[in-house]
Structure 1
Amino acid sequence: MKTSNLKRLLVGTVSAAAIFASPLAASAQDMPGEGTTVRMAQATWDTGWFEAAIYKQLIEELGYTVEGPTTLDNPPFYQAVAQGDIDLWVNGWFPLHNTYQPTFEGSAEIVGAVAEGGALEGYLVSKAAAEEFGITSLEDFKRDEVKEAFDRDGDGKADMVACPPGWGCEIMIEHHMDAYELRDHVNTIKAGYSASMADAIAAHEAGEPILFYTWTPNWTVNELSPGEDVVWIEVPEVNLPDDMADLADAATREGVAGCVADPCTLGFPANDIVPVANTAFLDENPAVRALLGEASVPLDDIFAQNAAMNDGDDDVEAQAAAWIEENRETVDGWLETARNAS
C-alpha cells in the first residue's frame, strides 16, 4: 500500500472514531427519538390513564415528542392504529379485545405487556343481599324477589351497572345477557361508568342492594372490598363469544378473594393489559419497540394509584413521574435496552 493511501486510511479511521466518540453521537444515542413525534392514545376508562402516563414519560425520556394521549373508545382506536393515524396505546385488554383483531391484524401488533394475567372481570353483589337472598349466580336474578330487591328504577328488572357502548366489556356483557336469557330480568346501565358506580356506591352506603360489573385493577374493589362489602358471583356456565371460545378454561379461576365459590366461574377469561402499536411505526422506531417489550407496571401499583385517584388525587402525570423516580433503577435498565436497540 502506498504511503499516501495508508495516510488517508488512517486519517479516515481516526476521523470515524472521533465522530463516534463525540458528545454529539453520544447524545444521539441517548435521545434516539429526537425530532420524532409519537401520536399516543389512551382508553376512555380512567383506571388505565396511570399506565398511559408512565409510558408517555418513558418515551419522552428517549427524546421523542409525545402528542396526546388522545382519549379514544376501542373501535376508533383500533381503526386509527391500523391506518397509521395513531401510533400506539398501552390499554389493550386481551382476550377481551379479540373482537377488534381483524381490524388491525397485519398493520398493528401487540408488543410486550403492561401486566400479564391479573386483570380479572366479573359481576359483584352486595354481600348482605347475597346472604339474604341466597344469591350465588346471575341465574338468581330471574327470581322475582331478587329482581324486586335490586330494581331501583321501578321497571321490574334488577339494575346492574354495566359498561358504556364501545367498551370491550359491553360486548361481553351483551353476549351474556343473551346466552343466559337475562334480557327480561336485568337492566344494564350503560351510562358513564365512574358516575354510575358512584351512584351505586351511594346506594350501597344507604343500605340498598347493588349489582355491578367490574374489572381489576379498578378503584371499585378498593371502595367496596370483595368478601367484606360485596362478593363475586358466578355465571350459570361459561359461555364466550366465538372469538374467545378456546379460552373457556381461563374463565374459571382459583383463589379469587371474595368469590362465593372456589374455583370461581367468573365467566370472563383473565386478561393481559398490553401495548398495541402500528407496525410500520415500530419498524421505524426500534427504541420504542424495545421499550414496550421491556416495560411493565405491577398490578398492586395500579390498584394503589386508582384508589388515590378515587380519593381525589387526580394528578395522573405527577403520580406517573413519582412512580418512575421510585423505580428509577429498573426504569433506567429499560431505557438502556431501548437506546441500544436504536
Structure 2
Amino acid sequence: MKPTSLLKRSLYATTLVLLAGPLAAQELPGEGKNLKYARSDSLGANYVQDAIIIKALEEMGYDVDLSTISVAAFFQAAAQGDLHVSGDINMPQRAPAYEQVKDDVALVGEGTIIGGGTNGFVIDKATSEEHDITNVEQLKDPELAALFDTDGDGTANLVNCDPGWSCGDVVDFQLEEFGLGDTVESVRAKYEPLMGEVFTRAARGEPVFYYTWSPSWITDALVPGKDVVWLPIPYGALPEGVTAQGGHEVSGIEGCAGGQDPCRMVTGSWNWMIAANRDFLSENPAAEKLLETVRWPAETWSTWEGALNEGNSDRDIEKIAQTWIDENTDTFEGWIKEASAAGQ
C-alpha cells in the first residue's frame, strides 16, 4: 500500500474521532458531572422512586452519590450547594421549611404521584362501627377516647409521626385546634416500630388509632374499608404556612368512616415533590427535564409498597426498581431521551 494511502486513511480516522467526540458528549449530558442525591430518612416507596431516578441519571452519564438524611437537613445542605437533589419532599406538610430556602432551592415538576395521595387519622373499622365513631372530634368524649388507651392512663394513644417529621406537627396542631388535648395523647417516636405495635394489636382484634398516608405500606397492610377506616376532621385547619391547595375534602376515598364522600382529610391531597439546588438546575437542563417528567400512578406506588412489605433492604429496593424499569422500558427510555435532548 502506498504511503499516501496510509496517510489519507489515518487522517480520515482521526477526523471521525474528532467528529464523534461532540456527538458522544451530547448523548451523555451528565458525563463527567457528580450529582449528590439525597433520600429522606423515612422508608417507603419513595426509596423505589429514588432508585429509578438515580438509574435514569446514571444512564445520562451522571456520577450519582446517594445519602440518607432528614428533609430539614437536606434543605439546608441544598441551599448551600452541598447536596443537589431529593425526591422525598412531602408537600404541603414541608411548606414552612421550604419557604426558608426557596431562593436557593426549587420544587421541580407537579409531584411524582399522579393525582396525589391522601393522609389522615385512622381507627379500626370494628370500633368505628360498634361505637358510631365517624369524626375525630368525637374523641373529646373521654369514654370514646379511652377505647384507644394503650398505657392505662385513660386517654387515647394516637400513633403519630417521627419527632422530626412535619406531618406530626400538623397532627399536633389539629389535636389542639379540635379540643382533643385532654383526651388524646400524641405518641411521637420512631414510626415504624410504633406501627409494628399497631399491627400486633390489630391482629389481636384490639382497637387501634394512628395517623398515616396513602399510598403507603401501612395502607397496604391495614386496608381502609376492610380493616380500618379514615376518620375525618370536623373542619379545615392547618398551621401557619401549610395550605390545602385543593381543600380538605377529597372525593372517592375508599374506607371513609360512615361511608362519607367526600372525606375531610388532614391536609386534603399531598404529594412527593422533587427539590433541587437552583444553581445545579440552571447548569444541568437535562437533569431538570428528567426531574420534571418522572411521575407514576397511585396504583404503581401501592404495588411498590406491597412489595416492600415482603422485604425492604437496599437489595430489595433495587430489585423492585429494576422490575419496574424492565416492565416499562419504553417509558423509562423515553424519559432519558427527552431529558437528554433538553441538554443539547
TM-score normalised by length of structure 1: 0.90
Partner AA of 2:96 in structure 1: T
How far apart in 2 are the matches of 1:109 and 1:317?
A: 27
Counting only pairs closer than 5 Å after superposition, residues 98-109 of structure 1 correspond to structure 2 as 98-109=95-106
Query: Which residue number corresponds to residue 182 of structure 2?
Result: 184
| Deviation (angstroms), 1:110 | 0.8
Question: Does residue 97 in structure 1 map to residue 98 in structure 2?
Answer: no
1:98-155 CA-partner distances (Å, limit 9, x unpaired): 1112221111101123124321110111000011111111112122222221101112
* 1:56 CA drift (Å): 1.0
State how far apart, in whole Å, the 2-side matches of 1:248 and 1:39 are. 31
**Residue pair 2:114, 2:297 contacting (<8 A) in 1 also:** no
- Choose from 117, 130, 133 the match for 1:132: 130
SS at match of 1:277: strand
Give the match's secondary structure for 2:115.
Answer: strand
Q: Which moved more, 1:27-36 or 1:48-57?
A: 27-36
Task: Supply the distance in 2 between the matched residues of 1:97 and 1:126 (Cα, whole angstroms).
Answer: 28
| Residue in 2 that maps onto 1:221 | 219
- The letter of the residue matching 1:142 is K
- The count of aligned residue pairs is 326
1:257 aligned partner: 254
Q: Which has the higher helix share?
A: 1
Q: Say yes or no: does 1:193 pair with 2:194.
A: no
| 2:118 corresponding residue in structure 1 | 120
What is the RMSD computed on CA atoms of the aligned residues? 1.9
Contact 2:246–2:269 under 8 Å retained in 1: no
Return the alpha-carbon distance in structure 2 between the equivalents of residues 138 and 233 of structure 1: 6
Q: Aligned in 2, Cα 1:120/1:72: closer, same or farther, shift over 3 Å?
A: same
- 2:270 is aligned with what amino acid? N
The equivalent residue for 1:5 is none
1:63, distance to aligned residue in structure 2 (A)? 0.9
- Partner residue in 1 for 2:7: none
Other structure's SS at 1:268 match: coil
| Aligned 8 A contact 1:240 1:248 in 2 | no
Q: 3-state SS of the aligned residue for 1:171?
A: helix
Report the CA distance shift for 1:30/1:325 in structure 2 as closer, same or farther (over 3 A).
farther
In the TM superposition, residue 18 of structure 1 has moved relative to its aligned partner by 5.3
- Once the two structures are TM-superposed, the CA of residue 35 in structure 1 deviates from its matched residue by 1.4
CA distance in 1, matches of 2:28, 2:180: 55
Contact residue 79 and residue 103 of structure 1 kept, 8 A:
no
Tell me, yes or no, if structure 1 residue 284 matches structure 2 residue 293.
no
**SS of 2:94 mapped into structure 1:** helix
Partners of 1:39 and 1:291 lie apart in 2 by: 15
**C-alpha separation between the residues in 2 aligned to 1:105 and 1:311?**
38
What letter corresponds to residue 331 of structure 2 in structure 1? T
Could you say which residue in structure 2 is the equivalent of 1:270?
269
Partners of 1:116 and 1:273 within 8 A in 2: no
Conserved in 1, the CA contact under 8 Å of 2:122 and 2:229? yes
The structural deviation recorded for 1:277 is 0.3
TM-score scaled by structure 2?
Answer: 0.90
Distance (Å, rounded) in 2 between the aligned partners of 1:225 and 1:292: 31
What is the distance in 2 between the residues matched to 1:189 and 1:20? 64
TM-fit CA distance, 1:248:
6.7
The CA deviation at 1:201 is 1.0
TM superposition shift of 1:290: 1.1
Unaligned runs of 5+ in 2: 1-11
Give the conservation status (yes or no) of the 8 Å contact 2:307–2:320.
Answer: no
